Amino acid sequence: MKLHLLTVLLATLGFASAARKCVIPKILQGTWFSWEFGEPTATTIDARSYERQGPTQGRVWTECVDSEKVGSNHTFILKGADCYSCVKAFPRTLNVFEKFETPCITLDRNEQPTIERICRTLRKDQQLITLFNKNFHPMSCRSSLEGVWHFAYQNRFRFTGECDSPDARIQSCQTPGSQFLIQNQKFNITYRQCQGMDGTFNGVVEYSCLGDWFIGKNHYFAVVNTKESREDEKYRCFLKNRDDDLYIGGSITAECNTLKTVEKSPERYRVTPVKSEVVEPGCRFPQNFTGDWINTANIDAEVQVNETHIIETYYPDRARFRRTIYVCREQRDSRIMTARLTVDGCQKDYVCFDFIPRHHNVIRYRKGMAVIKDDFSTVCSWVQFPNREEWRYDLFLNAKPTPVRCPVAGKFNFTQKGESPFKTRILGGVTLSPRPDIRCKQNISDFSVCDTDQKEMAIDANYCLSVDHLGRPVDIYSDPDYRMKCIGYWQENLKSYLVTYDDLDPLSKYRCWVYQRADLNRVLMSQATGAFCDVRQDVTSWNYTEGAVVALDMVEYERERDQCPMHFDDGENPWQEGENYITVFPWLIYRSGVPSSLGGTMNAFVVSLAALLLKLLF
């Protein structure tokens, strides 16, 4: 009984697999238009058969007898009246597939129509044939073409030379927020006649997009002119190259195989992006925003701000750039509504910025989500700002920062912990004078902010602490390993942040720090991996999980001759003016006659002079 059942089962299975030997996927089924054997051809494909029809070919009906699928590539064996042919099909989009096809081969009596046998005659250099779906579903043009361009064009088959009329336009603009609307599935080419060039014409051609695909660096997209009734004039193929934004190639037939390179395309458009819309500014950014900035959220971008515009330029690779322009439209309290001109001059949308007044070299801001409506209360409603549980303001940092007084100053001895700690190195090549052989009683890691204005942090990972018999430090020859200029600090979320600038830092010229005073003479600091401090970064953070590279625990150790008063500012009021502040002198009697700006060395000199005088007198 069991055996019997099994046989029945096997038999049905065998039958099923024989019947399903050929699988033509849904994406290839339908009626298609193509240009084959030099004439317009219609192809009808269903689950079992493949039928081709053309004026001189007549009607050729074939049955699919075998198939194979590798990735998204399909291979079919089609059985005609007496012969077999092999078709390799490459679906490109819902509306387009391309194929290689062999002629129909008659087999010997004892030969089997296997895929290997029939497809053997496929040649490597065969032309791909493009088939366009007659019942197409237009697709969004966004991935194919987006922007507004002026163009000049050549058509080797219709006229010689290049037709360059100032009004010629390619216009492919998407309506933001209306992904599924019909406008997003079309673009326009406005042709203008050029004098003395027959074959050029005045007219607008509107194309619907049929999708796009890549072959290597070649970016193809297929289109259909819905207003054209002649089928062979309806479908077109275009080619862009990822490395070349200047040219677009176009076919003059319903074929993509004529487009091998952009330069050798039958029709070639030389395009220049156009800013199509001019938005009148309606307000002004604060005057001290003007200048060049670095956006820490996108460190590769350049940000230029003038009174009315913010221009952010981003270089995805060497040859190309993307530019976004924000125009000031309306301001209320700290919020400024801007019109955002998106890629290549298409429609604008609106984005709200929430700015904190500039302090030092820092602009802090939040950016809302983009909205199409030109209405302050919608665009700048607080709901538009991403409402994460923990957030921080984003930063613009001055591209040419002027140093400010460091919020942490003095002479500190530190211990460090981190993934990339401060190390001994020779700054800027070889030290000028050779370091005499000094015996050090004690080496420490030194953090000093001791220059006259206290604007520069000097870090020496291994500093010789010994002093000579006069109490002067012996290690006067060694340069610090790191020098960083303080360029801004503030307090946010009860944490104090500092940004430093170091021209020689290979990873990031700008570094963010979190700092905190732990005791009367103890300061904790943590340095971030880059210009931006992670929300989770704390003064004790030292590894990447909190976005930090090293944490310092610093204890003040000013010696008598160092002339380096300690200073600490938690950044609560970063707008406070604090430029002329050094009025600290060790003893009151020396105050008279010493101008404050002369600073440390002068001070030390006066002090020793006074000491000498005192010695002589008593």
Can you give the binding site for ligand NAG, defined by CB under 6 A?
Answer: 70-71, 73, 90, 171, 183, 186-188, 204, 206, 286, 288, 306-309, 357-359, 413, 415, 440, 442-444, 462, 464-465, 542-543, 545, 555, 557, 575
- The nearer residue to ligand NAG, 71 or 166, going by C-beta atoms, is 71
Per DSSP, the three-state class of 549 is strand
In whole angstroms, how close is the CB of 551 to ligand NAG at the nearest point?
8
Residue of 434, 436, 458 whose CA lies nearest to 445: 458
Q: Say how far apart CA 527 and CA 538 lie, in whole Å.
A: 9
In whole angstroms, how close is the CB of 183 to ligand NAG at the nearest point?
6
In whole angstroms, how close is the CB of 508 to ligand NAG at the nearest point?
20
In whole angstroms, how close is the CB of 356 to ligand NAG at the nearest point?
9
- The nearer residue to ligand NAG, 206 or 244, going by C-beta atoms, is 206
In whole angstroms, how close is the CB of 390 to ligand NAG at the nearest point?
16
Q: Say how far apart CA 554 and CA 199 lie, in whole Å.
A: 79
Asked if 606 and 594 touch (Cβ cutoff 8 Å), the reply is yes
Name the β-bridge partners of 152. Answer: 164, 270
Q: Say how far apart CA 509 and CA 30 lie, in whole Å.
A: 59
In whole angstroms, how close is the CB of 287 to ligand NAG at the nearest point?
7
Asked if 405 and 455 touch (Cβ cutoff 8 Å), the reply is yes
Amino acid at 471: G
In whole angstroms, how close is the CB of 149 to ligand NAG at the nearest point?
12
Name the β-bridge partners of 567. Answer: 409
- The nearer residue to ligand NAG, 167 or 389, going by C-beta atoms, is 167
H or E element in which residue 599 lies: helix 599-617
H or E element in which residue 314 lies: strand 309-314
- The nearer residue to ligand NAG, 49 or 306, going by C-beta atoms, is 306
In whole angstroms, how close is the CB of 435 to ligand NAG at the nearest point?
9
- The nearer residue to ligand NAG, 287 or 583, going by C-beta atoms, is 287
Q: Would the CA dihedral through 326, 331, 334, 335 be positive or negative?
A: negative
In whole angstroms, how close is the CB of 168 to ligand NAG at the nearest point?
13
- The nearer residue to ligand NAG, 158 or 522, going by C-beta atoms, is 522
- The nearer residue to ligand NAG, 31 or 543, going by C-beta atoms, is 543
Q: Would the CA dihedral through 20, 22, 24, 25 be positive or negative?
A: positive
DSSP 76-128: EEEE-SS-EEEEEEEEEETTEEEEEEPPPBPPPTT----HHHHHTT--TTPPP
Name the β-bridge partners of 91. Answer: 97
- The nearer residue to ligand NAG, 241 or 413, going by C-beta atoms, is 413
In whole angstroms, how close is the CB of 553 to ligand NAG at the nearest point?
6
DSSP 129-156: EEEEETT-----STTT--EEEEEEEEET
- The nearer residue to ligand NAG, 90 or 385, going by C-beta atoms, is 90
Amino acid at 554: M
Contacts of 315 (CB under 8 A, 6+ apart): 300, 301, 321, 322
Residue with structure tokens 């003016």? Answer: 577
Q: Say how far apart CA 501 and CA 456 lie, in whole Å.
A: 9
Asked if 442 and 465 touch (Cβ cutoff 8 Å), the reply is yes
- The nearer residue to ligand NAG, 311 or 606, going by C-beta atoms, is 311
| CA quadruple 607, 613, 617, 618: dihedral, nearest 10 | 40
Burial of 316 (0-12, 13-18, 19+ CB in 10 A): exposed
- The nearer residue to ligand NAG, 48 or 322, going by C-beta atoms, is 322
- The nearer residue to ligand NAG, 15 or 581, going by C-beta atoms, is 581
Asked if 303 and 310 touch (Cβ cutoff 8 Å), the reply is yes
In whole angstroms, how close is the CB of 612 to ligand NAG at the nearest point?
28
- The nearer residue to ligand NAG, 251 or 308, going by C-beta atoms, is 308
Per DSSP, the three-state class of 222 is strand
In whole angstroms, how close is the CB of 29 to ligand NAG at the nearest point?
20
Residue of 202, 221, 203 whose CA lies nearest to 211: 221
| CA quadruple 168, 174, 175, 181: dihedral, nearest 10 | 110
- The nearer residue to ligand NAG, 154 or 537, going by C-beta atoms, is 537
List phi, psi (to 5°) of 292. Answer: -105, 135
Six-digit token string for 234: 């309806």
In whole angstroms, how close is the CB of 412 to ligand NAG at the nearest point?
9
In whole angstroms, how close is the CB of 548 to ligand NAG at the nearest point?
8
Asked if 488 and 404 touch (Cβ cutoff 8 Å), the reply is yes
- The nearer residue to ligand NAG, 384 or 523, going by C-beta atoms, is 523
**E strand spans, 360-442:** 362-367, 394-398, 408-418
Eight-state DSSP code of residue 611: H
Which residue is nearest to ligand NAG, using beta carbons? Answer: 71
Residue of 514, 502, 511 whose CA lies nearest to 529: 511
In whole angstroms, how close is the CB of 98 to ligand NAG at the nearest point?
9
